[in-house]
Amino acid sequence: MSFLKTIKLEGAEGEIKDSYSLFLEQAGMIPKPMEMFSVSPELFKKRLDMTMYYRNHPKLDFSLLTCIRYAVASEFDSLPCVQFNGNLLRRQGLEESDLEKLRSDPTSAPLEEAEKAMLIFVPKALKSPESVTQEDIEGLHGMGWTDRDIFDAVNHGAITFVSSVMMRIFRIE
């Protein structure tokens, strides 16, 4: 049971209700981090704005971002995020066996080589920041990624990681 009182769909009003409806329509479920952020309407709005930023990102597409969240959630054992992003990946045509393989081998993701490189980089950077080298960054640059793309991808993974930690703190399941 959650330590905090979040706003459930049936009690949602205004922007939170509209956002929940959008998630249900597009993803089939409400992401647990968004439900957690309903505790603070102002931060909920900021989180939604961040979600919309990534949704319209010029280079990081939906499939890559979903794979990044799935990989980070898997790496840091966030079951709600694994389930949500696994559901999104299934909607994109992946089978359960594909998801199992993706957990252990990110190179199995149905992405282009440059996207796979980014997918491998983000969880590595979050798990072991000190292991990131200039060569890692130059390698991503060599595949066409800009500093902004790299920063945004790592930030996206970090948001997933932080949300996972907060959900554990407040027992959001």
**pLDDT tens for the chain, residues 1 to 173:** 899 999 999 999 999 999 999 999 989 999 999 999 999 999 999 999 999 999 999 999 999 999 999 999 999 999 999 999 999 999 999 999 999 999 989 999 999 999 999 999 999 999 999 999 999 999 999 999 999 999 999 999 999 999 999 999 999 98
Residue 125, in any domain of the structure:
yes
> Which has the closest alpha carbon to 117: 57, 68, 58?
68
Q: Which domain holds residue 140?
A: 12-173
Residue 79 maps to which CATH number? 1.20.1290.10
Number of domains in the chain: 1
Residue 7, in any domain of the structure:
no
How big is the chain, counted in residues?
A: 173
Overall pTM surpassing 0.85 (yes/no): yes
Alpha-carbon dihedral of residues 58, 106, 22, 28, nearest 10 degrees? 160
Residue 3, in any domain of the structure:
no
Residue 1, in any domain of the structure:
no
Distance, in Å, from the CA atom of 140 to the CA atom of 120, rounded to the nearest integer, reads: 11
